[in-house]
Amino acid sequence: MNTKILLVEDDPSLGFVIKDNLEMKGYHVTLCNDGESGESTFHQSVFDLCILDVMMPRKDGFTVARNIRKKNQQVPILFVTAKSMLEDKTEGFAAGGDDYITKPFSVEELQMRIEVFLRRSTGRENVDTVFKLGQHFEFDSSNLTLSRPGAARTLTQKESDVLGLLCKNRDRVLKREEILKAVWGDDDYFLGRSMDVFISKLRKYLREDPNVQIVNYHGIGFRLEVK
């Protein structure tokens, strides 16, 4: 396993424990103890996944994620947070994060989250499909791109996962719990709220074509409608 992980955690004890345990599992982990050094390290190398603490000195995890996303839309970003407030989690997704894990957590849970990302980003799941959407859009899930004539957008892994699931189930109402379990692996309340953030982003991306809509069936789920 040659997976390279950037771990940015200001708690030296927790950082050491996470790094040590992940390296025992075969991952190559680079540990930084503040946001500024973490961001600098990201730009100096190539990583398969980033694990960012939220509250850090010099530069917080949300700011680091936003700056990473200016350069790289594909790399999965997992936030580590001691907070449980919904606003913090939705801010994290808006900053470009793909998932979060709340302290305290087990190394086994962290490894499970990492494996979910790696299965998708390395193509071990069957996502190599191109979808035509309406009159203007083409979605290439294998390359995480949503394109229209004269413009192309690179999606994050989670955005691509959600849109891909909707495309594969086009014109069918996907229940909220179906999407959550397929993309996040769980269907708790906070994940449901974060899913809504991703749906809103996708709607914004697709609004150039009125023939493509993600319809919300309140309390039930979503359906991708293409005229």
pLDDT of residue 127: 46
Amino acid at 214: I
Neighbours of 68 (CB within 10 A): 23
pLDDT at 87: 65
- pLDDT for the residue 162: 93
Predicted local distance difference test score (pLDDT) of residue 41: 96
**Residue 212 CB coordination number (10 Å):** 21
pLDDT per residue rounded down to tens, the chain (227 residues): 588 999 999 999 999 999 999 999 889 999 999 999 999 999 999 999 999 999 888 899 999 999 999 888 888 899 988 766 656 777 788 888 888 888 888 888 888 888 877 766 555 444 457 899 988 899 998 888 999 888 888 888 889 889 999 998 988 899 999 998 888 777 776 677 888 889 999 999 999 899 999 999 998 999 999 98
Of 116, 125, 197, 136, which Cα lies nearest the Cα of 168?
125
- pLDDT at residue 124, rounded to an integer: 45
Residues 179/221, Cβ–Cβ less than 8 Å:
yes
User: How confident is the model at residue 101, as a pLDDT?
Assistant: 85
38 φ/ψ angles, rounded to the nearest 5 degrees? -65, -45
8 A C-beta contact, residue 141 and residue 178: no
Report the predicted TM-score, pTM, of the whole model to 2 decimal places.
0.65
pLDDT computed for residue 82 by the predictor: 75
What sign does the CA torsion over 122, 123, 127, 128 have? positive
Give the Cβ contact number of residue 168 at 10 Å.
15
> Domains of the chain (ranges plus CATH)?
4-121 (3.40.50.2300), 130-226 (1.10.10.10)
